């Protein structure tokens, strides 16, 4: 038996927010907008959402303090505002950080629960409906049941997982990503690639997730070489990156991620390496790890990217990531021990031991 579940109404195209204002009244009569500090104000997304709401006479309040890799603190403050202002729905605008904070705020607005209960996905009341307007092309959060929160208690990331936080509507206008700085474009594209690759190489892969993951990999393979230093990217490239990220999000919504993401969390938590970059730095050695026992599948990933082997893949990634951060042996063993406890480890095609993770960290990060 396989299940394929994508309940989000997905709308893609220039001006799709303004042209679909008619979708908002069905969600309620007052909205909470959740964004990061700056980008939504300068890329046109916040203004378009405000205008679409005004057109339908829906008042909105805004929480615009979400930082990258948010903890639940921001989501709790946004939820408090949602309750005070009696809003009916939440619109997340931004990269994965504001989108995930919007999802968690939607849960906490209707459920007064502590972090432990939140991370056990045990909430009695339905969250408020969520709308997602992504402005990076990476996380796929606009279609997933996941929200990732930095969790100091475990010095890593914890998930909130619920079908009830899957956005009702996702509005994807690549124009918002046109001024995304190249390093953010690169890092987020590597996040999308890691989603598609991990989904394809997951024990939970299904026929549908496989087909979608491969199409995401194909699109990324065509565009990744353009993300080297100094590239300028036109609208079509931006839109293809955004749809590749969307497809990768649909794929991980079916399968989840694997050991690669689990290892990446420590790089972000302890070394402040951006989420997508962290996965990108490790991806070549992750493919190398799986290659001996899963040659056919790993080769399918590489061929779909237009490459002929892991060495070519590593060369492409090295070109994109530039100088690598370095880790000490002590960090490698601590990060591997933390990663072994992550919920996505068992979905890895070849179940890793702690020594396997240490091996991948070593090849990626020792000089
Ligand atoms: P992000 O943390 O949301 O944003 C990174 C930076 O990009 C911020 O400084 C942001 O500025 C800026 N930015 C965003 N959109 C921009 C635009 N259009 N133009 C210029 N700058 C822009 O990065 P992200 O990689 O998209 O998200 C990472 C988070 O998503 C992590 O917490 C990760 O764990 C999570 N994640 C979630 C899922 C899921 O399924 N839910 C999957 C993978 C990753 P502002 O702060 O000013 O907006
Ligand atoms: Fe990710």
Model confidence pLDDT, tens digit, residues 283-337: 999 999 999 999 999 999 999 999 999 999 999 999 999 999 999 999 999 999 9
pLDDT of residue 9: 98
Ligand 1 centroid to Cα of residue 120, in Å, is 24
Whole-angstrom Cα distance, residue 95 to residue 139?
Answer: 7
Q: Tokens 């990269």 — which residue?
A: 95
**Those residues with Cβ within 8 angstroms of residue 118's Cβ, 6 or more apart along the chain or in another chain:** 72, 104, 107, 108, 111, 160
**DSSP H helices in 151-274:** 182-200, 207-223, 235-255, 259-271
pLDDT of residue 88: 98
- The pTM assigned to this predicted structure is 0.98
pLDDT of residue 320: 96
Q: In which element (H, E) is residue 70 found? A: none
Ligand 1 centroid to Cα of residue 179, in Å, is 14
Ligand 2 centroid to Cα of residue 70, in Å, is 14
| Residue 1 banded pLDDT, cuts 50, 70, 90 | confident
Which ligand 1 atom minimizes the distance to the CA of 40?
48
Whole-angstrom Cα distance, residue 291 to residue 299?
Answer: 8
Averaged pLDDT of the chain: 97
Give mean pLDDT, residues 332-343. Answer: 97
Model confidence pLDDT, tens digit, residues 234-273: 999 999 999 999 999 999 999 999 999 999 999 999 999 9
Q: Tokens 């960090």 — which residue?
A: 331
Of 42, 43, 44, 47, nearest to 62 by C-alpha is 47
pLDDT of residue 231: 75
Three-class SS of 121-175: CCCCCCCCCEEEEECCCCCCHHHCCEEEEEECCCCEEEEEECHHHCCCEEEECHH
pLDDT of residue 122: 85
Give mean pLDDT, residues 164-192. Answer: 97
Q: Which ligand is nearest to the CA of 279?
A: 2
Ligand 2 centroid to Cα of residue 86, in Å, is 32
* Joined tokens for residue 31: 């909205």
Whole-angstrom Cα distance, residue 227 to residue 259?
Answer: 26
Pocket of ligand 1 (CB under 6 A): 36-40, 43, 68-69, 94-98, 100, 135-136, 138-141, 144, 146-148, 157, 176-177, 179-180, 184, 188, 191, 275-276
In the chain, the largest separation of any two C-alpha atoms, in whole Å, equals: 60
* Joined tokens for residue 159: 């998930």
Q: How many CB atoms are closer than 10 A to CB 120?
A: 12
pLDDT of residue 319: 96
pLDDT of residue 367: 84
Model confidence pLDDT, tens digit, residues 54-103: 999 999 999 999 999 999 999 999 999 999 999 999 999 999 999 999 99
| Residue 166 banded pLDDT, cuts 50, 70, 90 | very high
């Amino acid at each position: 038996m396989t299940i394929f579940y994508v309940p989000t109404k997905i709308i893609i195209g220039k001006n799709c927010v303004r042209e679909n204002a008619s979708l908002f009244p069905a969600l309620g009569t007052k909205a909470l907008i959740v964004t990061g500090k700056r980008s939504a104000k300068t890329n046109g997304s916040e203004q378009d959402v405000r205008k679409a709401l005004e057109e339908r006479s829906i008042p909105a309040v805004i929480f615009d303090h979400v930082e990258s890799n948010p903890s639940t603190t921001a989501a709790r403050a946004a939820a408090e505002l949602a309750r005070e202002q009696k809003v009916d729905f939440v619109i997340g605008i931004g990269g994965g950080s504001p989108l995930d904070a919007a999802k968690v705020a939607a849960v906490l607005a209707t459920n007064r629960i502590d972090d432990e209960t939140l991370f056990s996905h045990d909430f009695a009341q339905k969250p408020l409906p969520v709308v997602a307007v992504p402005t990076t092309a990476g996380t796929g959060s606009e279609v997933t049941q996941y929200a990732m929160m930095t969790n100091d208690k475990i010095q890593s990331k914890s998930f909130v997982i619920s079908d009830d936080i899957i956005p009702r509507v996702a509005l994807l206008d690549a124009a918002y990503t046109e001024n995304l700085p190249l390093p953010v474009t690169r890092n987020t594209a590597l996040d999308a690639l890691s989603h598609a690759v991990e989904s394809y190489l997951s024990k939970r892969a299904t026929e549908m997730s496989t087909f979608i993951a491969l199409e995401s990999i194909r699109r990324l393979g065509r565009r990744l070489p353009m993300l080297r230093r100094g590239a300028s990217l036109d609208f079509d490239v931006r839109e293809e990156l955004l749809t590749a990220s969307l497809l990768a999000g649909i794929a991980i919504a079916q399968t989840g991620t694997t050991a690669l993401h689990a290892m990446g969390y420590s790089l972000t938590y302890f070394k402040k390496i951006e989420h997508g970059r962290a996965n990108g730095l490790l991806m070549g050695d992750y493919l190398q790890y799986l290659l001996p026992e899963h040659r056919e599948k790993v080769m399918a990933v590489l061929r779909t990217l237009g490459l002929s082997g892991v060495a070519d893949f590593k060369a492409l990634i090295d070109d994109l990531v530039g100088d690598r951060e370095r880790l000490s042996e002590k960090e490698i063993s601590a990060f591997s021990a933390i990663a072994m406890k992550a919920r996505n480890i068992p979905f890895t095609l070849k179940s890793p031991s702690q020594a396997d993770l240490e091996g991948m960290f070593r090849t990626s990060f020792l000089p």
